[in-house]
Structure 1
């Protein structure tokens, strides 16, 4: 799991996370998340099951007293005491242990999958927090820019180069951005609650999401992994193996069981008689054999195991197809977000050039505040789209890393 987290965070080496590092947050989530704790307990229970099956059947002990004592040559039989122990056929207990161990292995894969999914959920939520915080920062910059334009407009009104309507339009635009900022504050609070719940901590804990992400020029280089080694698919291999162990156990349980026992009968002495065996107690060792003559039960279990293996094979093939599709879609979407990011970078450059032209126009007294608002709106649009592209790139990268074995 540690290897996976390092692989997952490989892309994070592009930027130094100065606030709460994502890796430490993921580790904290794995330690505190109640769902992970539940999976760990299930695995521990499955592991303890191995000790449960490593036992023999209960020893049978019985005692009885003769209501009417039968007389024998050596005396009257007073009571009967018996002890009996059944023993499974050779190798049956080992087969049970192997089956229980295979079930524990399958349960462990569930734990690994749950940790991976938690890592994915924490990371994607963190990237959404980044995007919200980055948008808030952009809105602050644009509000400050509009305030600058407002002061320019007021000055232009005084000299007759602009109307009061231009000032009002700039103020309305500022109000709209303030509204958007307040909405983002609500979104951040909701996402922060979700994030803290994943870590199973106070939902009001402040999360300082890093706001310096960017799309790297080149994607991190990963060693090509076989998707068949992904835990979601390995789990099916473990389940298939457990069915094989179940069938071996079934074959062992279809064999006879051996029993060993001992009967003890105390005998009273016959009065007024003197012979060597007078009153001699009876000790009778016994051996028994339990034979499953009607073995339809075991034949049915074998058939069920065969069908179960076919079911698992089909389920694995279906899940493989879905994971391959998901991986392909994530790679394509990540590439698409890279393209969008590059386009927005160029557009922002053009918008900044337009802004500089407007500022120079003001120096000559010919500024058009309608153009100011249009350029500002374009700037904001391109900046927001760039943030969405960065978030999308990392969200898709998180999915890709989840799918890597």
Structure 2
């Protein structure tokens, strides 16, 4: 039954992974699989779970068997002879069900530790996806800047031609060149930021930071949002962990009651007796064999009463922590939903603005054919177009990043 439970959990994790990546590129799917297999944090939590599970085997034992040996320096005389040495063995047995209670308690702690694996894998999916979208946005912005730099070079050529025929001044050329310098500076900065994000991404996959990353050249904005069930937040692993911890306290209290019960011991004493010299009777030199039964009763049991009170307080603390975390997750979810809506609104607006800016650019080019081009207008339109295109990319990135947060919280 326990193996079936583990299989269900692993299937759940896989379904969560598939849901996140099903609409994304094959590259991202491959990267997520690599991260799940190689990330050291996941390996750390899996090892912690294995250690916690192995502890179950450690409690399936009885208390140490006691062996004793003694030698009579002054041999006491008995009717059957002098006692020379004594051997003893004793085994204490816990109260019925105590060992099972210990197993249940350790197993409940292991179950709580397993939730750490589920949480870590969800967070890893989110981190890798968000880093991927950051790389996409950076690469997309660099592409836009390169296109705008080429456009400014075209305008610079037009301006130089206009200067030759007296339709523009050298100042117009210098303004275009200064604007081009600013773009090249921004492009260089973006390139450095890309390298930083590239290191972050590769380290999430636990591989060398210099390995190249295949990024989508174009990320389409979804026409509509996927359906989500906010009620699934109730069974989020971060909250389920508190339920597991609460249950572990319950099993701890059951164990405490068992340990407060008496312990029964069984033993055997063997005493070696030396034959009495010059005497002849049936029991002369007969060794002594003495079975024993002992009972250990915890008369002074204040420690067990204190443990019961501690368990009750810990359960109250866990309930308070769960409610606090639930409130936080609900806040995160509401924020992510609203910011994703805002990203869609922004994307629509920026798309309109980009289109209108390009129309204005076409008008300016046509005006150049009639000799009435104003390079101040050229710079203004070019700056607006760049701004709108950058905002459009930011809207796409924000939408997908907020989606990864929503996926983390609701799937």
Q: Same fold (TM over 0.5)?
A: yes
Q: Say whether residues 1:267 and 2:253 are aligned partners.
A: no
Shift of 1:148: 1.2
Asked if 1 retains the 8 angstrom alpha-carbon contact of 2:269 and 2:289, the reply is: yes
Shift of 1:214: 2.8
Q: Say whether residues 1:150 and 2:148 are aligned partners.
A: no
- Local SS of the residue matching 1:259: strand
Aligned residue number for residue 2 of structure 1: 14
Asked if 1 retains the 8 angstrom alpha-carbon contact of 2:135 and 2:198, the reply is: yes
Aligned residue number for residue 328 of structure 1: 334
Aligned residue number for residue 240 of structure 1: 246
Shift of 1:226: 1.9
> Could you state the TM-score of these two structures normalised by the residue count of structure 2?
0.95
Shift of 1:11: 4.0
Q: Say whether residues 1:338 and 2:344 are aligned partners.
A: yes
| Cα distance in 1, alignment partners of residues 256 and 217 from structure 2 | 59
- Local SS of the residue matching 1:104: helix
Aligned residue number for residue 63 of structure 1: 69
Ranges in structure 1 where 5+ consecutive residues have no aligned partner: none
Of residues 229, 233, 250, the one that matches 2:235 is: 229
RMSD of Structure 2 on Structure 1 (CA):
1.2
Asked if 2 retains the 8 angstrom alpha-carbon contact of 1:10 and 1:220, the reply is: no
Q: Say whether residues 1:215 and 2:227 are aligned partners.
A: no
Aligned residue number for residue 307 of structure 1: 313
1:327-346 per-position Cα deviation (integer Å, ceiling 9, x unaligned): 00100000001100000000
Asked if 1 retains the 8 angstrom alpha-carbon contact of 2:354 and 2:388, the reply is: yes
Aligned residue number for residue 40 of structure 1: 46
- Local SS of the residue matching 1:263: strand
Asked if 1 retains the 8 angstrom alpha-carbon contact of 2:228 and 2:410, the reply is: no
Moved more, 50-59 or 163-172: 163-172
Q: Say whether residues 1:94 and 2:106 are aligned partners.
A: no
Asked if 2 retains the 8 angstrom alpha-carbon contact of 1:11 and 1:220, the reply is: no
| Cα distance in 2, alignment partners of residues 228 and 97 from structure 1 | 28
Moved more, 317-326 or 271-280: 271-280
Aligned residues: 399
Shift of 1:144: 0.9
Aligned residue number for residue 322 of structure 2: 316
Q: Say whether residues 1:159 and 2:165 are aligned partners.
A: yes
Shift of 1:220: 2.0
| Cα distance in 2, alignment partners of residues 208 and 170 from structure 1 | 34
Alignment of 1:7-22 (within 5 A): 7-12=19-24, 17=25, 21-22=27-28
Asked if 1 retains the 8 angstrom alpha-carbon contact of 2:262 and 2:297, the reply is: yes
Aligned residue number for residue 119 of structure 1: 125
Aligned residue number for residue 80 of structure 2: 74
Ranges in structure 2 where 5+ consecutive residues have no aligned partner: 1-12
- Local SS of the residue matching 2:274: coil
Asked if 1 retains the 8 angstrom alpha-carbon contact of 2:221 and 2:396, the reply is: yes
Of residues 346, 364, 368, the one that matches 1:362 is: 368
- Local SS of the residue matching 1:234: helix
1:80-136 per-position Cα deviation (integer Å, ceiling 9, x unaligned): 000000110000000000000000000010111111112211111111111110000
Asked if 2 retains the 8 angstrom alpha-carbon contact of 1:123 and 1:398, the reply is: yes
